[in-house]
Amino acid sequence: MADQDRHPKVEPHLCVAGGAEALSFYRKAFGAKVVMTVPAQDGVRLLHATVELFGGQVLVHDEFPEAAGPGAVRAPTSTGGASVAINVNLATAEDVDVAIARAAGAGAVVVMPPENTFWNARYGRVQDPFGHVWAFNAPLG
């Protein structure tokens, strides 16, 4: 199999302030599996991590303000908030409630409690301690 075939077509790359803490949170809150990590040269920050969760994959790295410039990525905590929500489609309405409760128990803030929506889904959102917004969605009935 070609290397490109092993990677998802779309793969969010999350910038955080506190990479090691973020990995710990994603494990506890979302049952994430950390596949690989690469420390930064300073021995403190995270240059890269690959994380599997909810049947998909995200990449995580610390913020590097010293590398600012065109195209630089900043952590939501540095910019005043997230600019996107990461949508997770789950199988059942109960899964939405469980995911949000688990994330809240790990330290996320519930920004939209789970509710039944006009689009016939159970939906809710949390904001993780690193500023990223996670939306959970599942069909009703």
Domain ranges in the chain? 3-139
Q: Which residue has the tokens 């049947």?
A: 55
- Kindly state the greatest CA–CA separation across the chain: 51
Can you give the pTM of this predicted structure? 0.92
Q: Is 15 helix (H, G, I), strand (E, B) or coil?
A: strand
What is the pairing mode between strands 121-127 and 133-139? Answer: antiparallel
Looking at domain 3-139, which of 3.40.50.720, 3.40.50.2300, 3.10.180.10, 1.10.10.10 is its CATH number?
3.10.180.10
Q: Lay out the sheet containing 56-62: strands in order across.
A: 13-16, 56-62, 46-53, 33-39
Cβ neighbour number for residue 50 with a 10 Å cutoff: 16
| 29 within 8 A of 86, measured Cβ to Cβ | no
Digit-by-digit pLDDT tens for the chain (141 residues) are 455 566 677 889 999 999 999 999 999 999 999 999 999 999 999 999 999 999 999 999 999 998 878 888 999 999 999 999 999 999 999 999 999 999 999 999 999 999 999 999 999 999 999 999 999 999 998
Q: Is 127 helix (H, G, I), strand (E, B) or coil?
A: strand
Q: What is 31-89 written as a DSSP string?
A: --EEEEEEE-TTSSSEEEEEEEETTEEEEEEE--GGG-STT----HHHHTS-SSEEEEE
